[in-house]
C-alpha cells in the first residue's frame, strides 16, 4: 500500500487539517475567555477597591445660610452630588429635608423612603413625611409612623460652620453607611 502511494505522481503528503483547526479553536477559546474574564473581573475589582476608599467620598458641602431654615420648621433642600459626572445630569441633584428645632440643632433627612426608596415629602398640615408609593409615613423626627417602611428615615450628618449649614454628602446614608455621626 505504501509503495502504491509513493509511486503516484499526483499524490501529496498527508496534511493534518484537524490539528490546525484544533489549535485555532483553542487559541480562539483562550482569547474569548480572557476577554470575558476581563469584562467580569474589572468591575469586580473596581467594586472591591471602591468599598475600601468609600470613606474618602464623605465630604462636607454647604446647604446654605442657617437663616434659610427658620426654627421649628422642616424645609426641603437640594444639593449637588460632589462626585457628579457629566452623564449624571439632573440625577446628581439630590433632595434632602432639613429640620431645624432651635438654634443650631439641625437634622437632615435623606428623602428616600426606607421601604423601597421613593421620595418622601413633608406635609406641614399633618406633620408627617408621606411616601407616595405604598403609604409609608414618618413623624417629624423621622421615626416610622405607619405603612411598610421597616425603619425611620436615614439621616445625613449636619453641622454649622460660619453660619452655613453643612451636610456630609458624597454617600447616601444607609444602615451600612450611617451618616448621622459627624
Contacts with ligand FES by CB under 6 A lie at: 113, 115-116, 118, 131, 133-134, 136, 147-149
Closer residue to ligand FES (CB): 153 or 158: 153
We find the least distance from the C-beta atom of residue 157 to ligand FES, in angstroms, to be 23
Tell me which DSSP letter residue 7 carries.
H
We find the least distance from the C-beta atom of residue 155 to ligand FES, in angstroms, to be 17
Q: Are 79 and 167 a contacting pair, CB within 8 Å?
A: yes
Determine the Cα–Cα distance for residues 56 and 34; give it in Å rounded to an integer. 32
Count the Cβ atoms, other than its own, within 10 Å of residue 143.
11
We find the least distance from the C-beta atom of residue 127 to ligand FES, in angstroms, to be 18
Q: Are 11 and 4 a contacting pair, CB within 8 Å?
A: no
Helix (H) or strand (E) holding 146: strand 144-146
Closer residue to ligand FES (CB): 115 or 168: 115
Tell me which DSSP letter residue 173 carries.
-
Closer residue to ligand FES (CB): 136 or 173: 136
The C-alpha angle with vertex 54 and arms to 46 and 37, in degrees rounded to 5, equals 10
Closer residue to ligand FES (CB): 118 or 157: 118
We find the least distance from the C-beta atom of residue 101 to ligand FES, in angstroms, to be 25
We find the least distance from the C-beta atom of residue 74 to ligand FES, in angstroms, to be 18
Q: Are 108 and 101 a contacting pair, CB within 8 Å?
A: no
106-110/158-161 β-pairing:
unpaired
Closer residue to ligand FES (CB): 100 or 115: 115
Amino acid at each position: 500500500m505504501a509503495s502504491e502511494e509513493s509511486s503516484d505522481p499526483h499524490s501529496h503528503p498527508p496534511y493534518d487539517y484537524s490539528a490546525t483547526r484544533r489549535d485555532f479553536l483553542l487559541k480562539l477559546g483562550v482569547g474569548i475567555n480572557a476577554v470575558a474574564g476581563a469584562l467580569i473581573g474589572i468591575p469586580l475589582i473596581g467594586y472591591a477597591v471602591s468599598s475600601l476608599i468609600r470613606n474618602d467620598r464623605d465630604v462636607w458641602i454647604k446647604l446654605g445660610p442657617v437663616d434659610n431654615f427658620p426654627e421649628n420648621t422642616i424645609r426641603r433642600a437640594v444639593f449637588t452630588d460632589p462626585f457628579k459626572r457629566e452623564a449624571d445630569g439632573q440625577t446628581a441633584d439630590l433632595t434632602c429635608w432639613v429640620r431645624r428645632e432651635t438654634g443650631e440643632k439641625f437634622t437632615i433627612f435623606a428623602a428616600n423612603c426606607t421601604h423601597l426608596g421613593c421620595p418622601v415629602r413633608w406635609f406641614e398640615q399633618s406633620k408627617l413625611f408621606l411616601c407616595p408609593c405604598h403609604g409609608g409615613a414618618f413623624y417629624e423626627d423621622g421615626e416610622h409612623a405607619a405603612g411598610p417602611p421597616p425603619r425611620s428615615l436615614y439621616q445625613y450628618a449636619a453641622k454649622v460652620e460660619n453660619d452655613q449649614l453643612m451636610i456630609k454628602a458624597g454617600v447616601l446614608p444607609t444602615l451600612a453607611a450611617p451618616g448621622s455621626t459627624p
